[in-house]
């Protein structure tokens, strides 16, 4: 997981977790000693309280077991029969504990005591993994030297909206979803109605798009690289060593930039970029990292909140949203990326920029009715409305900088809406269910050429892996209008 981490996990994760566990252990020990010396431990209420507190580590342990168990047990947990069966299985132990609280609490204490070796093993493993790489391994690498003024006024702004569905945004849009900025772009652009992405995972799709080659498999190689298996090569190769679209742009004399998330662009592609800003994605449960380093007390507080939200059935409590911490962190990450994106698209020295934004990727951070950001539970459709808003802001930034008319704009997605991944999770809503009753796996693909104001619709299916070659053709001046984009795709698809 260190490949996806933005921060050194030893400082951002291990230290707060170890400090929290020590504080909890000392607190429980001190509390029990006080009860023992004051003879409160003979009172049944004390044992009931202790047993209630044991529900927290029990819930956390059950979630951990589900995560490390062989095979995917998520469908089992989400099955409608699971919780009734779990309740029936736990009814007898619960009744016994209520009737014999003292014996039950003594049994629970022995279980917790004997679990210490397991805790020590887990913490030792976490520290060992964190120490495999020095802190410098998580820093961005040196960027490429800026080039002089670009050879022409043509520049390309390539915008990837993560998990944006073609059908949801354009093909069969809900009546209550208005996207005026995207509709305006469509009216003056080449618009493809049947584009497909190279893969349904960002881990595979982005390297495929940037390299312009099909990536069959990818394996993280420490914090700073990704080993990829290409369809054109027999052996795995490091992503950072392969020629990419940014190298092609620099060979043509253009400065390059990336504003993105999920992949550590500043560690993998730094040699090909003049500017780079990136944030991590949401890491797997148990190793979540904050968007920035926090003081120790705040880090410990966040771990308490995350452990509480990970407990079974917590999401069914009133006013509890299990993904609330995720949403807050997504808001912080998005706020950083949107400001950097506005900076890059308004910079006339940048000839090719990739803007990879974490919207409309769930969980939603926007309320389309109120037109404002939110940490409350909202739908994927709300985040699609945010896509339209943010594209309008990026366009306005380019217009104010006098760069809109001289820029080629490519808008697409790394993959469509993965409803099978999100259905049944805490972020899924009734609106999501209604909007997902159609094929939402396709991605939008729009290309606005410099100085062009007329649009063209294209219905033939194709794979967006050809984006790299198309961008290079635009920078060379070989693709100048919507008709030329269609001709290029026809020829590329025939290869």
In a domain, 125, yes or no: yes
Pair 229, 370 in one domain: yes
Distance CA 210, CA 204 (A): 10
pLDDT at 71: 58
The answer to whether residues 157 and 264 belong to one domain is yes
**CA 250, 255, 261, 264 torsion-angle sign:** positive
Rounded to whole angstroms, the Cα distance separating 160 from 139 reads: 24
Q: Give the per-residue pLDDT at 213.
A: 95
Tokens read off for 126: 């976490």
Among 74, 104, 133, identify where a domain stops: 133
Strand order in the sheet with 237-238: 215-220, 226-230, 237-238
In a domain, 202, yes or no: yes
Exposure class string for 396-414: b at 16+ Cβ within 10 A, else e: ebbeeeebbeebbbbbbbb
Are 356 and 466 within one domain? yes
User: How many folded domains does the chain comprise?
Assistant: 2
In a domain, 204, yes or no: yes
Q: Is residue 434 part of a domain?
A: yes
76 and 213 both lie in a single domain: no
Which CATH number does the domain housing residue 403 bear?
A: 3.40.720.10
Q: Are both 359 and 408 inside the same structural domain? A: yes
Question: Per the structure block, which two tokens stand in for 183?
Answer: 């509709």
Residue 138 lies in a domain: no
Residues 117 and 155 in one domain: no
Summarize pLDDT for 34-60 with one digit per residue, the tens.
877 787 767 788 778 878 877 766 666
Q: Confirm if 369 and 413 have CB atoms less than 8 A apart.
A: no
Residues 96 and 160 in one domain: no
Residue 8: per-residue pLDDT:
86
307 and 401 part of one domain: yes
Q: What count of other Cβ atoms lies within 10 Å of the Cβ of residue 494?
A: 6
Residue 462 within any structural domain of the chain: yes
Query: Do 38 and 100 share a structural domain?
Result: yes
**Residues 138 and 8 sit within 8 Å (Cβ to Cβ):** yes
User: pLDDT, tens digit, for every residue of 266-290?
Assistant: 999 999 999 999 999 876 666 678 8
pLDDT reported for residue 172: 95
Residue 139 within a domain: no
By residue range, what is the domain housing residue 323?
144-493
User: What is the strand order of the sheet 456-458 is part of?
Assistant: 275-280, 255-262, 350-357, 155-161, 407-412, 445-448, 190-192, 456-458
Rounded-to-integer distance, Cα 363 and Cα 376, Å: 10
**Residues 120 and 160 occupy one common structural domain:** no
Ranges of residues in the chain whose predicted pLDDT is under 70: 41, 56-79, 83, 114-116, 118-119, 121-123, 125-130, 283-287, 310-320, 493-495
Judgement on whether residues 188 and 295 belong to the same structural domain of the protein: yes
| 233 in a structural domain | yes
Cα(437)–Cα(174) distance, integer angstroms? 12
Within this chain, do residues 23 and 155 fall inside the same structural domain, yes or no?
no
């Amino acid at each position: 997981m260190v490949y996806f981490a933005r921060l050194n996990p030893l400082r951002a994760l291990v230290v707060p977790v170890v400090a929290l566990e020590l504080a909890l252990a000392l607190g429980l020990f001190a509390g029990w000693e006080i009860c023992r010396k004051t003879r409160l431990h003979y009172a049944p209420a004390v044992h009931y309280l202790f047993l209630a507190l044991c529900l927290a580590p029990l819930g956390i342990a059950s979630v951990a077991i589900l995560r490390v168990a062989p095979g995917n047990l998520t469908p089992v947990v989400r099955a409608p029969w699971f919780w009734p069966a779990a309740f029936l299985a736990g009814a007898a132990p619960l009744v016994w504990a209520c009737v014999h609280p003292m014996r039950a609490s003594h049994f629970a204490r022995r279980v917790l005591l004997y679990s210490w070796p397991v805790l020590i093993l887990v913490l030792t493993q976490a520290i060992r993994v964190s120490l495999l790489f020095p802190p410098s391994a998580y820093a961005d690498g040196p960027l490429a030297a800026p080039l002089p003024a670009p050879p022409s006024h043509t520049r390309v702004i390539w915008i990837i909206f993560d998990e944006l569905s073609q059908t949801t945004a354009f093909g069969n849009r809900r009546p209550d979803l208005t996207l005026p900025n995207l509709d305006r772009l469509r009216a003056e652009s080449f618009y493809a109605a049947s584009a497909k992405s190279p893969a349904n995972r960002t881990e595979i799709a982005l390297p495929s798009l940037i390299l312009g080659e099909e990536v069959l498999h990818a394996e993280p190689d420490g914090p700073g690289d990704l080993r990829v298996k290409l369809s054109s090569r027999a052996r795995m190769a490091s992503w950072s060593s392969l020629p990419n679209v940014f190298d092609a742009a620099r060979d043509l004399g253009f400065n390059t930039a990336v504003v993105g998330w999920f992949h550590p662009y500043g560690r993998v592609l730094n040699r090909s970029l003049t500017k780079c800003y990136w944030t991590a994605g949401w890491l797997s449960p148990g190793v979540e990292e904050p968007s920035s380093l926090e003081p120790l007390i705040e880090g410990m507080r966040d771990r308490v909140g995350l452990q509480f939200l990970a407990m079974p059935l917590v999401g069914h409590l009133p006013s509890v949203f299990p993904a609330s911490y995720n949403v807050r962190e997504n808001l912080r990450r998005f706020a950083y990326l949107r400001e950097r994106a506005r900076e890059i698209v308004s910079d006339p020295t940048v000839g090719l920029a990739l803007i990879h934004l974490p919207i409309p990727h769930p969980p939603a951070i926007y309320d389309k009715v109120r037109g404002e950001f939110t940490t409350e539970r909202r739908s994927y459709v709300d985040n699609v409305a945010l896509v339209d808003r943010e594209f309008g802001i990026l366009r306005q930034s380019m217009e104010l900088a006098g760069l809109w008319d001289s820029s080629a704009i490519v808008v697409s997605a790394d993959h469509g809406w993965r409803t099978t991944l999100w259905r049944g999770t805490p972020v899924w809503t009734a609106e999501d269910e209604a909007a997902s009753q159609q094929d939402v796996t396709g991605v939008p693909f729009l290309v606005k050429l410099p100085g062009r104001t007329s649009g063209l619709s294209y219905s033939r299916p194709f794979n967006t892996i050809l984006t790299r070659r198309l961008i290079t053709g635009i920078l060379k001046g070989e693709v100048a209008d919507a008709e030329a984009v269609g001709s290029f795709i026809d020829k590329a698809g025939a290869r």
